Amino acid sequence: MIMQLRTVLACTTGLLLVVHPAFAADTTIKVALWDKGPDSAMMDDAHMAMTGKMDMANMSTGMMGITPDQTSVPAGKVTFAVTNDSHDIIHEMILSAVPPGTSELPYLADEIRVDEEKSGSLGEVSELDPGKGGSLTVDLAAGTYILYCNIPGHFVGGMWTMLTVTP
C-alpha cells in the first residue's frame, strides 16, 4: 500500500511540474555584441540623425549591432549570456522596458547616448572588453524590451534590438 501511494505521489508531482508554469524552466538568451571593425564608431549623418529613435528600417545599415539567439521568450527568469564579439571595441548591453506606443528613447544628444535613468534601465552587462563576456539575470513580465549598447555613439550606430516577452 505504501509503495502504491509513493508511486501515485511521484506521478502526480511529475504531472504538476509539466503543467504548472511556475515550474517552467528559466530561459537563457545568448547575445552577441558586434561591430564591423575599428571604423565602426564613425557615423554618417543618417545615423547621427537617428538619435534615440527605434527605427527597425535603418538597422540593416548599422556598423554595429546586438544579435540575440532569441527575440521572443516566455515571461519569467531570463538570463542574458552576453559576449563581445568585437576584436577592437568595448561594448555593453543594457536592458530597458519599452512602454506601448514608444518609438524613441530619451536621448542625450550632447553625450551621444541614451539617458539610462529616464529609459528605465533594468540592468546591464557593462563595458566588456573585446572577446569578453558577462551575464545578467532578471525576472521579466510580458511586454516589449530593448537591448542596447550605451557607449557614446553606439546606439545610433545600430547597437540595439527588440525583445518580446510573452505571457
Q: State the total domains in the chain.
A: 1
129 and 83 Cβ atoms separated by less than 8 Å: no
| Bridging pattern class, strands 143-148 and 121-128 | unpaired
pLDDT confidence of residue 37: 86
Q: Is residue 135 part of a domain?
A: yes
Tell me, what CATH number does 38's domain have? 2.60.40.420
Q: Is residue 151 part of a domain?
A: yes
Q: Is residue 94 part of a domain?
A: yes
- Segment (H or E) for 5: helix 2-19
Burial of 126 (0-12, 13-18, 19+ CB in 10 A): middle
| Bridging pattern class, strands 143-148 and 160-166 | antiparallel
CA distance 25 to 115: 33
pLDDT confidence of residue 115: 95
Q: Is residue 132 part of a domain?
A: yes
Q: Is residue 20 part of a domain?
A: no
Q: Is residue 113 part of a domain?
A: yes
| Bridging pattern class, strands 76-84 and 72-74 | unpaired
27 and 78 Cβ atoms separated by less than 8 Å: yes
10-residue mean pLDDT profile of the chain (167 residues): values are 40 40 76 88 48 54 89 98 96 96 91 93 97 98 97 92 97
pTM, entire model: 0.77
Q: Is residue 15 part of a domain?
A: no
Domain that holds residue 123: 25-166
CA distance 36 to 117: 29
